[in-house]
């Protein structure tokens, strides 16, 4: 009898826990629902917004992104003083309006870090740059494009490797073009100033050589050296629009960007890349991306590293 009571007691405890969790979940859903009702964010609003996003930037927003988009755009409604999504959607129909830039900035995801996917930078230093130094010996020019540069951490990582590998004082003309759709992150990138605790993945030797620590109220910040910043030209660019340059580009980094595009958009983009990419030069993409069934103008030579073949 005592054993049965113990078992019943255990079951009751489980039910109490489950009931508590269910109640908490329901309260959370009710709270979210109440917030959404305040701004009247409907399926019609979400579909309108994601159609604009896809048409303008190629970004494909799945149904699972609805809550994320709501939470990000609510801040824009509060900032502009607009109190409903009907009026906000109407405003977005005018792509020349100043708010459209803020809208694109709000829906863009900008996760980045120094030397992210470090095997790319190791290959750049050990294999690709030595090859390019030999190949481009006559022109002494190397051009690199960081497409979707976000806050600049990828771009400055590239710049460090270029400075460390390419012979100095031998007349080499080296430039990095860094572009992004989000103008807010581009401003951060161009300034090259980061909180100390945000600079991870950089070894002590590089930290000492390429960063300067602030003083006083800026003691918790690091600034990228002028020597690196002078290699880079930052520019706002929508990858779906015509490129304002002809190339040839020796190396393209386009990592964790096309994951947000559908296959048709990816095909168009990589074809545009290939048109300005020097033959037998290199393309880096993100760890969750692939060119399989997207283009035949590049061949895979290592994990997420491709070479242009035609």
Q: Which of 50, 116, 143, 180 is catalytic?
A: 180
Task: Please provide residue 62's backbone torsions phi and psi, each rounded to the nearest 5 degrees.
Answer: -75, 170
CA angle 28, 32, 35 (to 5 degrees): 140
Q: Which of 53, 101, 47, 102 is nearest to 78 (CA)?
A: 102
Burial of 267 (0-12, 13-18, 19+ CB in 10 A): middle
Which two tokens mark 202? 């950089």
Strand partners, 69: none
Strand partners, 147: 179
Report how far residue 100's alpha carbon sits from residue 97's, in angstroms, rounded to the nearest whole number.
6
Q: Is the distance from CB of 244 to CB of 272 less than 8 angstroms?
A: no
51 is catalytic: no
Report how far residue 130's alpha carbon sits from residue 162's, in angstroms, rounded to the nearest whole number.
10
297 is catalytic: no
Q: What is the largest CA-CA distance in the chain?
A: 93
- Strand, helix or coil at 307? strand
Burial of 168 (0-12, 13-18, 19+ CB in 10 A): exposed
Report how far residue 142's alpha carbon sits from residue 139's, in angstroms, rounded to the nearest whole number.
9
- Strand, helix or coil at 244? coil
Catalytic residue positions?
Answer: 72, 180
């Amino acid at each position: 009898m005592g054993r049965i009571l113990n078992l019943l007691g255990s079951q009751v405890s489980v039910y109490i826990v489950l009931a508590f969790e269910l109640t908490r979940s329901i309260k959370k859903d009710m709270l979210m629902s109440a917030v959404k009702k305040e701004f009247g964010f409907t399926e019609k609003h979400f579909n309108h917004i994601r159609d604009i996003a896809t048409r303008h930037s190629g970004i494909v927003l799945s149904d699972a992104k609805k809550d994320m988009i709501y939470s990000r755009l609510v801040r824009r409604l509060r900032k502009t003083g607009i109190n409903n999504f009907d009026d906000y959607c109407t405003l977005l129909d005018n792509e020349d309006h100043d708010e459209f830039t803020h809208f694109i900035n709000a829906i863009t995801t900008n996760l980045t870090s120094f030397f992210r996917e470090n095997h790319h930078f190791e290959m750049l230093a050990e294999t690709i740059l030595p090859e390019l130094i030999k190949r481009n010996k006559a022109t002494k020019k190397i051009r690199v494009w960081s497409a979707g540069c976000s806050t600049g951490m990828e771009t400055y990582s590239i710049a460090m490797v270029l400075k460390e590998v390419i012979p100095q004082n031998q007349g080499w003309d080296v430039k990095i073009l860094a572009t992004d759709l989000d103008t807010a992150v581009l401003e951060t990138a161009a300034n090259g100033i980061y909180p100390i605790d945000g600079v991870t993945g950089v070894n002590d030797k590089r930290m000492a050589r390429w960063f300067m620590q602030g003083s006083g109220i800026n003691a918790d910040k690091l600034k990228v050296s002028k020597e690196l910043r002078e290699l880079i030209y930052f520019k706002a660019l929508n990858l779906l629009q015509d490129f304002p340059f002809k190339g040839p580009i020796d190396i393209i980094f386009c990592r964790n960007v096309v994951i947000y595009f559908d296959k048709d958009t990816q095909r168009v983009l990589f074809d545009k890349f290939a048109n300005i990419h020097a033959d037998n030069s290199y393309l880096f993409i993100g760890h969750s991306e692939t060119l399989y069934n997207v283009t035949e103008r590049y061949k895979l030579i290592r994990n997420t590293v491709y070479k242009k073949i035609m």
